[in-house]
Chains A and B, each alone.
Chain A
Amino acid sequence: MVSNAPGSPTLHNTAAMAVELTGITKRFGAFIANDGIDLAVRRGEIHAIIGENGAGKTTLMNILFGLLQPDEGSIRLNGEATVVADPAAAIKAGLGMVHQHFKLVPSLSVADNVFLGMEIRRHGLIDHAAQIARTQELSKRFGLHVDPTERVGLLSVGIEQRIEILKVLVRGARTIILDEPTAVLTPQESRELFQTLRSFVAEGMTVIFISHHLEEVMEVSDTVTVLRNGKKVATRPTSELNKDELVRMMVGREVSFDRRPRAELQGDVILEVKDLWARDDRRLPALRNASFTVRSGEVVGIAGVAGNGQTELAEVLSGLRPASHGEARLKGQDLTTLTPAAIREAGLAHVPGDRMLRGVDRNASIAANTLMGRQHRAPWSRNGMLDWKAIAGNAGALIKSFDIRAQGAGDAVKRLSGGNIQKVVLAREFTNGADFLLIDQPTRGVDIGAQEAIHDEIMRQRAAGRAILLISVQLDELAALADRILVMFNGRIMGEVAGDDADEDRIGMMMAGVSPQLEPA
């Protein structure tokens, strides 16, 4: 070891790899978030990790950054076996992570935020001038345009993200992890971010970025790793891939066409959507010119990679988001002018995509949760007073008929499993006598047994003549239940496929933005 002349090759020069994860497994209770994942990231590349919501991307990166400890598996950083006990250890090893949620102090200046926790001091006092100069220098070098003296509270989200990146840089990171960095950015800001990422690589740094947007992955990455349901599907050079392949790797090839038997019973048009537009939270168009109808006794499926306007569509139809243009008529009544309560009165039942946020009050009992939204109606209330006896009795009946596994109607909803919580939502929504059912991701995070039961229930509702709009990112679910499938991409409905003719190649193409009728988008 003394004879090692400078520049002589060392024995373990596997340092071409910035990050090597081997057999990483992470369980949360019975749920396996990461299942034996191997990941190798070469030094000096932009490595995209792509997968749908819940595929395990963020969990994997949190393990790499020391925020979570893996149950199994090992980590090598720059060729050295490393235990990343906490984020401090990760930072010391040259890793930096830009999270989805920023942690900046609004009343402090940009430079103060960048150097918070590692202030430059002179004579014991913070040297603001030096901090500003250093921030300026880094921001120029990597094209992260910010004014170091400005107060963070006055700045936009896009600039806040640049500050978070600068924070990572001043801490000496050589490998930078970004968790869904473009989710909060406008397209213009995204392009600027990609240039910054390229400038990092040009300086020999390594970038790992998480995304579920195909196009930006194709545009900016050198290598792609696809995760699905906690497992790694593949790692491939981006140049060898096209969008269509990527989609299929993301959503899965093994679509089981376990189609539910059904009788044709299409009745009157219940929902008619015409030229509907809406904006997302960034004020950008997220739903573009959607037109379709749903008839009674029909299940219309909406397919698409998450984040292509499905959420906005569901929110507009349930009155939670204003439409910017167009109309949606429920039995002739235009929903876009009504409040959520009025839409429900007009005949909507809504199973929201995020059941913990909008489906239930987790701290309330099953009885109270089955009551919500109809507390003013008989038999739940009489003479303006709630009739708890009737409410509990009704909840007990629903627990039985929807097979909710619980101790009783007084159980707090938070004590139930995901599948049973979803059944509470279904039990409430499906027994309202509504003609139109808007069902968003009914089986997300639900075990197989409960999935079957939920599918059975949706088919029963169809047989009872309800008009059903089923939004799902799971193709097999749509193929099993839907009479027709509409495919959404980038806020538009790209095309329609009959449910009994659900060709995954065609659907996959449309999900990737290739229209069967039009030229590629």
Chain B
Amino acid sequence: MEILDKLINVALIAATLRTTAPILLVALGGSFTTKAGIFNIGLEGQMLAGAFFAVIGSIWTGSAFAGVACGVAAALAFALAFAVLVVTFRANEVVVGLALNILAGGMTISLMKAIFGTRGSIVGHGIVGLPKVQIPGAQALLGSWAPLISGFTPIVYVAFIAVPLLVLFYNRTRLGLYIRVVGEKPEAAEALGISITRVRYTASLLCGLLAGLAGAHLSLGYITMFTENMSSGRGFMAVAILIFSNGDPLKVLAGCLLFGFADAFSLRLQTFGFPSYLVLTVPYVVALTALFALSYRARPKIIKETLASMQKLLSVDRNSAPVDKNP
């Protein structure tokens, strides 16, 4: 019981929110492209570029917020390149996305070598991290539960506020509606005189904006440093969540919270001396399993067919399965 108390407490939940924020932001960014009918596998690269240039900007200007702006600008540049190649030149989106991911990885490493003469990571050099926002009155109101709403960096708040804003955006604004139409039925958009090109560019750039913020959160949020391949697959995890959620903001939130929780939980487990290699797989295993389970209903055809053929293979009779009501 004592161990459980140490494992699961307010701090864990606060940590969950913190670890959820970057993947939530990048996944919400990807929601724009997913809804607009673009399979954007380049999220990882945009996020990594955002993280790197946020650090550079922070060092140059001495301001965390200017650093964030630099990170966002870098991610937007990647998003623009993606849009030019995919939308205007109709290149294959997977190839372009992968190429930009590789470019981001290589570019950050070479720039690090060129500017700082080091490999591995940038620490110190006067990096200014983001301040933590203390919400006044939180302590008085919630007591020991205050860390749940107070003391995060601004980007964490942005990430969670973005969820209801995106719900509103898709349901009540013209641009949001057009993004959905362009993704779902381009010929309908065309017939109504909606410019598919313009809508897809807009969606790509909105995606770059949020991916850049997510990157900046990684390098200027709770740790103020940049390391090689800092995004460590979060962009790909976001792509997985997007596929299963179809880009719906609320489903994206659920998927990201799950991943964030597993991430925070695995960090916790590490302090208990479990082998770290095993522990680090936890968030990915949990998220994938849950997404698979969630999508059983949403994507019945593929998965049900697979299960049906597996059943046939094992010749298991569903009807003969014993029903045990009383444990």
Task: Assess the A108–B193 pair: CB atoms within 8 A.
Answer: no
In the complex, what distance in Å separates the CA atom of A124 from the CA atom of B188? 23
In the complex with contacts A117-B193, A126-B172, A103-B177 CB distance below 8 A: no
- The reply to whether the CB of A107 lies closer than 8 angstroms to some CB of chain B is yes
Q: Which residues of A230-289 have CB atoms within 8 Å of chain B's CB atoms?
A: none
List chain A residues, Cβ under 8 A from B174: 119, 121, 126
Interface 9-residue window, one of B179-187, B203-211, B259-267, B298-306? B179-187
A124-B173, A125-B173 are known contacts; what are 16 more A-B pairs with Cβ within 8 Å? A88-B193, A103-B188, A103-B191, A105-B184, A105-B188, A106-B185, A108-B177, A108-B180, A116-B177, A116-B181, A116-B188, A117-B193, A117-B194, A125-B172, A126-B171, A128-B172
- The reply to whether the CB of A68 lies closer than 8 angstroms to some CB of chain B is no
Task: Assess the A103–B193 pair: CB atoms within 8 A.
Answer: no
List chain A residues, Cβ under 8 A from B172: 125-126, 128
- The reply to whether the CB of B192 lies closer than 8 angstroms to some CB of chain A is yes
List chain B residues, Cβ under 8 A from A108: 177, 180-181
List chain A residues, Cβ under 8 A from B180: 105, 107-108
In the complex, what distance in Å separates the CA atom of A104 from the CA atom of B185? 7
The 8 closest A-B pairs by CB, nearest first: A117-B192, A103-B188, A125-B172, A105-B185, A103-B191, A126-B172, A105-B181, A105-B184
Instruction: Name the interface size band of chain A.
Output: 10 to 19
Task: Assess the A112–B177 pair: CB atoms within 8 A.
Answer: yes
The interface centre, meaning the residue of B168, B172, B184, B193 with most chain A CB atoms within 10 A of its CB, is: B172
What secondary structure prevails in chain A residues at the interface with B? loop
Q: Which residues of B152-202 have CB atoms within 8 Å of chain A's CB atoms?
A: 168, 171-174, 177, 180-181, 184-185, 187-188, 191-194
Q: Which residues of A85-106 have CB atoms within 8 Å of chain B's CB atoms?
A: 87-88, 103-106
In the complex, what distance in Å separates the CA atom of A112 from the CA atom of B168? 15
Q: How far is the CB of A295 from chain B (nearest CB, A)?
A: 47
Q: How far is the CB of B185 from chain A (nearest CB, A)?
A: 5
What secondary structure prevails in chain B residues at the interface with A? helix
List chain A residues, Cβ under 8 A from B185: 103-106
Instruction: Name the interface size band of chain B.
Output: 10 to 19
Across the interface, A119 reaches (CB within 8 A) one of B177, B184, B188, B191, namely B177
State the A residues within 8 Å of B (CB): 87-88, 103-108, 112, 116-117, 119, 121, 124-126, 128
In the complex, what distance in Å separates the CA atom of A121 from the CA atom of B185? 22
Across the interface, name the chain B residue whose C-beta is closest to A116.
B192
In the complex, what distance in Å separates the CA atom of A107 from the CA atom of B184? 8
In the complex, what distance in Å separates the CA atom of A116 from the CA atom of B192? 8
In the complex, what distance in Å separates the CA atom of A279 from the CA atom of B14? 63
Task: Assess the B194–A103 pair: CB atoms within 8 A.
Answer: no
List chain B residues, Cβ under 8 A from A116: 177, 181, 188, 192
Task: Assess the A106–B192 pair: CB atoms within 8 A.
Answer: no
Q: How far is the CB of A128 from chain B (nearest CB, A)?
A: 8
Q: How far is the CB of B73 from chain A (nearest CB, A)?
A: 27
Q: How far is the CB of A440 from chain B (nearest CB, A)?
A: 30
Q: How far is the CB of B178 from chain A (nearest CB, A)?
A: 9
- As a 0/1 sequence over residues 269 to 313 of chain B, the CB contacts with chain A under 8 angstroms (1 = contact) are 000000000000000000000000000000000000000000000
List chain A residues, Cβ under 8 A from B191: 87, 103
List chain A residues, Cβ under 8 A from B193: 88, 117
Across the interface, name the chain A residue whose C-beta is closest to B188.
A103
In the complex with contacts A116-B181, A117-B194, A104-B173 CB distance below 8 A: no
List chain A residues, Cβ under 8 A from B187: 103
List chain B residues, Cβ under 8 A from A103: 185, 187-188, 191
List chain A residues, Cβ under 8 A from B173: 124-126
In the complex, what distance in Å separates the CA atom of A125 from the CA atom of B193? 20
In the complex, what distance in Å separates the CA atom of A416 from the CA atom of B60? 66
Across the interface, name the chain A residue whose C-beta is closest to B176.
A126
In the complex, what distance in Å separates the CA atom of A105 from the CA atom of B180? 9
In the complex, what distance in Å separates the CA atom of A106 from the CA atom of B184? 8
List chain A residues, Cβ under 8 A from B194: 117
Q: How far is the CB of B126 from chain A (nearest CB, A)?
A: 43
In the complex, what distance in Å separates the CA atom of A126 from the CA atom of B201? 22
Q: How far is the CB of A508 from chain B (nearest CB, A)?
A: 40
Across the interface, name the chain B residue whose C-beta is closest to A122.
B172
Q: How far is the CB of B93 from chain A (nearest CB, A)?
A: 21
